Chain A
Amino acid sequence: MTAAGAAFWNEYAETMPRAQLDGLHLHKLRSLLQYAYDRTPFYRRKLDEAGVVPSEIRSLEDFKRRVPFTDKPDFVALQREAAPYGPTLALPMDLVAHHAETSGTTGTPLQIPYSMYDTVRYGESWVYGYWALGIRPSDSFYFAFGWGNFAGFWSAYWGARRLGARVISGGGLDTKGHIQAILEKKPTVLICTPTFALRMAAVAAEMGVDLSTSSIKYTYHAGEPGPTALPAVREAIERAYGATAGELLGIAEIDAMAPGCPLGDGVHVNEMTVFAWAIDPETGEEARDGDIGELVVTSFANTAQPLINYRTHDLVRPRATCPCGRTWMKLEGAVLGRADFMVTVRGTNVYQAAVENLLAQVPGMSSFYELILRRENENDTMTVRCEPVRALDRDQWDGLAQMASDHIHAALHVRLKVEVLPPDSLPRYEIKTKRIIDERPPEFRRVLDRAGARS
């Protein structure tokens, strides 16, 4: 059989026995710990404070139990003190080949450096997913994506280059322009967020264009809950494009870390570039196979800014086995929810905690608010309902709403509707204050959000 006829991108790696994978992880974790300790003041201090000597980590249990967790705010705070990367950078600046940023939804974007080798590693993760879905070098990719500094689809592009497929950039075209480009250039693979795929399909229908008869055979998504996490989204995209839809779980600073399982019911952690385990977010104890826990990851893809035992706040259900034959950890249903509530509004991740913090910064605003989630025009929307302080005159409420909306927009780059209600009009709770009112249809909510709104 030739390589082109293979069912896996790398069957040897993807079906490696667990004991061999674990042995490799231990070697890589020890090497990475030593590398990070030697090269970054951040990890040297962190490991010294925890009394961890990299060479004394002798088992995966040692690693999980002794190596301290890291979290995004640690990195953001250090980068703010010494821009752009602070004491988290492990390579000389002249080896940083690509810069990306997170969307800054918690207030300040995380700055992400990649070496050229990191971009190769990162892109490779996409190819596992492309190949599993049936995409081959003979395919052609259309990127309905405005590039910018967001990591997501840059890495999808690095993957398309690795695969050897033709790449067509939609660049800064508007929605109609993307549709026209697809009709003219006849790509076979569409890369974009799930929301934008549905938006394009709706606009195409208004234009009298039926994309289900277009050249698109596959769609591949990341950036928000998509075809794996939300079966209704899969059905809508596949019907609109007459195509097979795939999804990858990526975290900008980590890797395109978990390409979709060909069975369509989850994603597999790329265990060549990531070591992953799950914890009970309250106790920090390891979650057992099949239990829901918070995903904690160590990236072997990002050598410019190592991320070790990094808390993702994504709630997942890990499985050790999968009927598809892959031995890589499966995350059933991809991300089931967030340990800190988050919803994606027009492509931007919006955290409840971020909105709360921003409202608290608006003079005249009280601490009482609710966030109303709805599904409108194929998008999740969020409306902020809030109360002014009692001392604020009624004729100042409209100005207060505008000020809050502007403040949120400036920080999160997304415009939320803000409604100021009279004092005492929002419900008060004695325990477990309910801040999220989720009015989206259940099929458009993550699994853990479907049972009802989370507070």
Chain B
Amino acid sequence: MTVPELIKTIRDARATLIGAIGETELPQVDAMLRNADMELHWALWNLGEPVGVRPEFDYHAETR
């Protein structure tokens, strides 16, 4: 897979995850979704994508 293809795949995965963050009443699963999104944000960061300082800025800034 090329780097641009990787980046697109990761961005798509983030978009899917972000839609679910904060939408479940299960704290365990919510924590897992946030961790998964954090790792994907980190992957984009290390592929040289100009993402924000922290992943929370891309969804609910006020929530953990």
The chain A residues found within 8 Å of chain B, CB to CB, are 10, 12-13, 16, 20, 24, 27-28, 31-32, 35, 94-95, 115-117, 120-121, 124, 272, 300, 303
Contact = CB atoms under 8 A, between A and B. Distances in A.
A120 B38 contact: yes
Interface stretch (B9-17, B18-26, B45-53): B45-53
B44 to A, nearest CB: 11
30 contacts: A10-B46, A12-B3, A12-B47, A12-B48, A13-B46, A13-B47, A16-B48, A20-B48, A24-B48, A24-B50, A27-B50, A28-B50, A28-B53, A31-B52, A31-B53, A32-B53, A35-B53, A35-B54, A94-B64, A115-B54, A117-B38, A117-B42, A117-B54, A120-B38, A120-B39, A120-B42, A124-B42, A272-B45, A272-B46, A303-B53
Nearest to A118: B54
Given A12-B48, A13-B46, A272-B46, 13 more contacts: A13-B48, A16-B48, A20-B48, A28-B50, A28-B53, A32-B53, A35-B54, A115-B54, A116-B38, A117-B54, A120-B42, A124-B46, A300-B53
A20 B50 CA distance: 11
A10 B38 CA distance: 18
A134 B14 CA distance: 32
Interface residues of B, number: 14
A322 to B, nearest CB: 19
Nearest to A35: B53
Contacts of B47: 12-13
The 6 closest A-B pairs by CB, nearest first: A27-B50, A35-B53, A31-B53, A13-B46, A117-B38, A272-B46
Contacts of A28: 50, 53
A169 B50 CA distance: 38
A13 B47 CA distance: 6
Contact of A95 (B42, B45, B64): B64
Contacts of A20: 48
A287 B59 CA distance: 41
Interface SS majority for chain A: helix
Contacts of A117: 38, 42, 54-55
B53 A121 contact: no
Contacts of A124: 42, 46
Contacts of A13: 46-48
Contacts of B39: 120
Contacts of A121: 42
A66 B1 CA distance: 42
Nearest to A95: B64
B14 to A, nearest CB: 14
A131 to B, nearest CB: 13
B3 to A, nearest CB: 6
A164 B53 CA distance: 26
Contacts of B54: 35, 115, 117, 303
Contacts of B3: 12
A199 B25 CA distance: 53
Contacts of B55: 117
Nearest to A36: B53
Interface string B27-39: 0000000000011
Contacts of B64: 94-95
A35 B39 CA distance: 20
B23 to A, nearest CB: 21
A24 B55 CA distance: 17
Nearest to A10: B46
B58 to A, nearest CB: 13
Nearest to B49: A24
B61 to A, nearest CB: 11
Contacts of A10: 46
Contacts of B50: 24, 27-28
Contacts of B42: 117, 120-121, 124
Contacts of A16: 48
A243 B42 CA distance: 33
A94 B38 CA distance: 17
A416 to B, nearest CB: 42
From A20, A116, A117, A300, residue with most partner B Cβ within 10 Å: A117
Contacts of A27: 50
B45 to A, nearest CB: 7
A347 B21 CA distance: 44
B56 to A, nearest CB: 9
Nearest to A306: B53
Contacts of A303: 53-54
A303 B39 CA distance: 15
A12 B50 CA distance: 15
Contacts of B38: 116-117, 120
